[in-house]
Chains A and B, each alone.
Chain A
């Protein structure tokens, strides 16, 4: 299931939903991304997340489908927040279940790597110097190369 939403999420609730009736799944891997204080050398006070309604959901769905084709997975949950976020607020949740841990670890990382490169979200930071759009990080582009070899 995929959600793009303003409201916060509760990791405990998401974990509970992922593990409910999952008798054959022996592994759950979850990832949560937070708003951090220093980014690209700036002191961040606040973050605004813009997205492309419609394409965002479509793009996340494609990424999840690709992960499911690559590994044998149970449930997959992706939540991405939009709008104004404060320091240390939760931004993104990815949760994956599978029979064994290798698939769950890899699929969770794969989904995050592709989300960072392909899902149409844009961050604008509010720092002590004013507002600035976050620059694309080359490191994120390199991260998906490991899945293309």
Chain B
């Protein structure tokens, strides 16, 4: 049987502001992937669809930059954010 549980997803910067939330819970089947999480979040409505389908959105798994095919397992920290603008 596949492992299934709730994952916490964090948002930062303009993405957090436009979605109107800093974090959300999502039920995932593991192993999952960044691409899969993005698709599930996009089902939440037009705004989510528009913002998360944007190819510029970056992701991090366990605080390390990730790509669409990065694997996600139970307990991993998932985050989405716009391109960084520090310095």
Mark A residues whose CB is within 8 Å of B.
33, 49-52, 54-55, 58-59, 80, 91-92, 112, 115-123, 133-137, 140
Contact = CB atoms under 8 A, between A and B. Distances in A.
B87 A120 contact: no
Contacts of B82: 122, 133, 136
Interface in B1-58: 10, 12-14, 17, 56
Contacts, number: 73
* Range for the number of chain B residues in contact with chain A: 10 to 19
B87 A121 contact: yes
Contacts of A133: 13-14, 17, 82, 85
A84 B84 CA distance: 17
15 contacts: A33-B87, A50-B13, A52-B12, A55-B64, A59-B65, A92-B87, A115-B87, A120-B60, A122-B14, A122-B84, A133-B13, A133-B17, A133-B82, A136-B56, A136-B82
Given A120-B12, A122-B12, A52 B63 contact: yes
